[in-house]
Amino acid sequence: MAGLDSRSHQLYRRAREVIPGGVNSPVRSYSPYPLFVASAKGSKLKTVDGQEYLDYCMAYGALIDGHAQAEVIDAVEEALERGSIFGQPTEMEVELAELIVSLVPSLQMVRLVNSGTEATMHAIRLARAFSGKKKVLKFEGGFHGSHDSVLVKAGSGATLLGSPSSEGVPSDVAKNTLVSRFNDEKIASKIIRDHSSELAAVIVEPVLGNVGPVLPKPGFLETLREITLENEVLLIFDEVITGFRLSIGGAQEYYKIRPDLTILGKVLGGGLPLSAFGGRRDVMEKLAPLGPVYQAGTYSGNPVSVSASLAILQSLKKRAVQLYSRLEKMGDVMRRGIGDHLESARITAQVNGLGSMFQLFFTDRPVTDYHSAKSADIRTYEKYFYSLLASRVFVPPSQFETCFLSTAHTEDELDATLDAIGTAVKTLPR
């Protein structure tokens, strides 16, 4: 990392004068200043100071083929020549909707929006209107965007009415959000049964991605599907992270479970702003102009983002069998290699992950939910982060984010990264 006289530091000082905290998303902020990126290609970021870093954030999971993927760039350039936005329907958005519905097992209809926050907000509104019920159940550590209904955390106890985890969220809104413990099917089942008369939906990330990757225990997702069906509660899978990343059909294809509604984003956009929500036809037809549930957006289905999405999804579909198998093997190499280095250095930590997702937690407890993730030693992770940064390897600055692989990462780069990790863990306290 360059010094305090660097171009990045100069830009950070300027940014703080006009942008709150100097960044447009809090996760990008870290001491003494964030790296300001000039360009990126494949697996690498290039900073405004001319330094190159191997990137394992991949725009927090949005880039499955790496930065500046050629087919996406070509598609975007062609789209821009035709016009950046029309405010009217296009043939491309029909083609994209047809493609998404064909790839994601539970989808019969889909609506395009611009962000994951928009998608979850509208999906929850839709679930409430369809069911005639108000409350929603989410899980501790599950991130579903930054709107009021889901910006809620749990306190102690098996079940409780949500309390806001951000100032500005009215407690009256938060009270309609129930919170349970991820991977505890008994507690979740009890909440669903006890509140079935007022519970519109259960929303869950099939794999928690914003406390690091936390995998569902065998039977957990299956139980959620069974209990929600029994109690006439809609099940919403938030696949913003897992969609098109774990498999071409997302986590629902990987785990063979069909939710009622699904949220998509990140990989879907091919690096441009695009999200979607979709699901059962009878639910989706409640949306305006067919039904009484309002959803709209000037940039929804904009042709530039749609062109990028078509390019990436068509490419993934052609390569799906080999691509996801390769990413799984790459993930195994990283998880196994990190584990070997930890053992060699006699460092107690947990390595979590699945497919192209991985992260390590400096704790002696298996990480299976939000509480066990929070037991990790954040200070040790910070030392690990800065050691890797010194080796020109960029991983998430936060312990509670996920590392992502892409098809652009090479075997040599994985080896070099594991060497850097081996060096990093040797410097950590035992």
Tens of pLDDT, residues 61-90:
999 999 999 999 999 999 999 999 999 999
Tell me how far CA of residue 234 lies from CA of 142, 201, 258, in angstroms: 17, 4, 11
Q: Residues 136, 196: contact at Cβ < 8 Å?
A: no
Confidence of residue 149 (pLDDT cuts 50, 70, 90): low
- At 291-316, the pLDDT tens digits run 999 999 999 999 999 999 999 999 99
Residue ranges covered by each domain of the chain: 7-30+41-68+320-426, 70-315
Mean pLDDT of the chain: 94
Residues 6+ apart with CB under 8 A from 49: 2, 6, 7, 8
* Distance, CA of 79 to CA of 70 (rounded, Å): 14
* Shared fold status for 7-30+41-68+320-426 and 70-315: no
Please check the confidence at residue 157 and state whether its pLDDT lies above 90.
no
Q: Mean pLDDT throughout 125-136?
A: 98
Q: Which fold has domain 70-315?
A: Aspartate Aminotransferase; domain 2 (3.40.640)
* Distance, CA of 181 to CA of 309 (rounded, Å): 34
Please check the confidence at residue 155 and state whether its pLDDT lies above 60.
no
Q: Residues 123, 149: contact at Cβ < 8 Å?
A: no
Q: Mean pLDDT throughout 347-360?
A: 98
- At 18-60, the pLDDT tens digits run 999 999 998 899 999 999 999 999 999 999 999 999 999 999 9
In this structure, what token pair is assigned to residue 405? 């692989």
Q: What is the structure's pLDDT at 430? A: 80
Q: What is the structure's pLDDT at 47? A: 98
- At 374-392, the pLDDT tens digits run 999 999 999 999 999 999 9
Which residues on adjacent β-strands are paired with residue 358?
A: 353, 403
Q: Which CATH superfamily is domain 7-30+41-68+320-426 in?
A: Aspartate Aminotransferase, domain 1 (3.90.1150.10)
Please report where in the chains the tokens 């006289």 appear, as a residue.
5
- What percent of the chain clears pLDDT 90, i.e. is strictly above it? 89
3-state secondary structure the chain: CCCCCCHHHHHHHHHHHHCHHHCCCHHHCCCCCCCCEEEEEECEEEECCCCEEEECCHHHHCCCCCECCHHHHHHHHHHHHHCCCCCCCCHHHHHHHHHHHHHCCCCCEEEEECCHHHHHHHHHHHHHHHHCCCEEEEECCCCCCCCCCCCEECCCCCCEECEECCCCCCHHHHCCEEEECCCCHHHHHHHHHHCCCCEEEEEECCCECECECECCCCCHHHHHHHHHHHCCCEEEEEECCCCCCCCCCHHHHHHCCCCCEEEECHHHHCCCCCEEEEECHHHHCCECCCCCECCCCCCCCCHHHHHHHHHHHHHHHHHHHHHHHHHHHHHHHHHHHHHHHHHHCCCCCEEEEECCEEEEECCCCCCCCHHHHHCCCHHHHHHHHHHHHHCCEECCCCCCCCEECCCCCCHHHHHHHHHHHHHHHHCCCC
Q: What is the structure's pLDDT at 165? A: 54
Confidence of residue 154 (pLDDT cuts 50, 70, 90): very low
